[in-house]
Amino acid sequence: MTMTPERWEFLSRYAVDVFGDEDPHLAGLMDRAEAAGLPRIAVSADVGRLLLILAAMTPGRIALELGTLAGYSAIWIARGLAPDGKLYTVEAAPAHADFAESEIARAGVADRVEVIRGEALGVLPDLADQLGPGRVDFAFLDAVKSEYVDYFEAVKPMIAGGGLLVADNVYASGHAWIDEGYGTDEFNRRVAADRDFDAVATPMREGVLIARKRG
């Protein structure tokens, strides 16, 4: 029984086929995004469902996402929140933020999602002040991979005891894998070694880290 590149490709497609059922709005979202000039770099549908499940396993009152793109993952996360829950999603590119806002409205979750415009490391201090410490039930990191360590340090005090930190691309990012020098190794080890968290990474797609804050 050997894991070949062909088998890996097959399993990635299989996971989307079996576990990635989408409604018509989500199924067409990234086609519309691509037609509008946005890059096709959203999470896959099976990872989207993972985000929904994980968010729904928390109290789901406050969620945070870094890297909105077209709003695809934001809509999955929003659907996992409590009815009065709120997702703050941070996006640096104005065109991406505009597009995401219209798709979030079309998905019927605009009341649960606020798109914050700006660079993640620039807006996080104000957001941390606004929300107060230990209030975020679910945080998803998916902006600049080389900034993950800084995101972790900024977001860590914002996460509630029992809250989840999830990060995409912790084994690879499009062009390179971690054994080829791709750079989230320091982030992975930092979270894994942090005594405030229990962390693991699943090899879904390009690697999804899941960490639960103790407490």
Q: Which residues bind ligand SAM (CB under 6 A)?
A: 41-43, 66-70, 72-73, 90-93, 96, 119-120, 142-144
**Least Å from the CB of residue 180 to ligand SAM:** 19
For residue 201, the SS3 value is: strand
**Least Å from the CB of residue 161 to ligand SAM:** 25
Q: By C-beta, is 43 or 158 nearer to ligand SAM?
A: 43
Q: By C-beta, is 131 or 196 nearer to ligand SAM?
A: 131
Q: CA distances (Å), 90 to each of 38, 120, 123, 201, in order?
A: 16, 6, 8, 23
Q: By C-beta, is 67 or 207 nearer to ligand SAM?
A: 67
Q: By C-beta, is 77 or 178 nearer to ligand SAM?
A: 77
Q: What is the C-alpha to C-alpha distance for residues 95 and 63, in angstroms, rounded to an integer?
A: 23
Q: By C-beta, is 144 or 196 nearer to ligand SAM?
A: 144
CA 23 to chain centroid, in Å, comes to: 19
Residues with Cβ < 8 Å from 210, sequence gap 6 or more? Answer: 54, 164, 165, 166, 199, 200, 201, 202
For residue 118, the SS3 value is: coil
Radius of gyration of the chain (CA): 16
**Least Å from the CB of residue 118 to ligand SAM:** 7
Q: Could you tell me how many residues make up the chain?
A: 215
Task: Work out whether the CA dihedral 46, 47, 52, 53 comes out positive or negative.
Answer: positive
Q: What is the C-alpha to C-alpha distance for residues 106 and 26, in angstroms, rounded to an integer?
A: 10
**Least Å from the CB of residue 2 to ligand SAM:** 31
**Least Å from the CB of residue 115 to ligand SAM:** 11
Nearest C-alpha neighbor of 120 from the set 148, 100, 101, 98: 148
**Least Å from the CB of residue 6 to ligand SAM:** 26
Q: By C-beta, is 28 or 161 nearer to ligand SAM?
A: 28
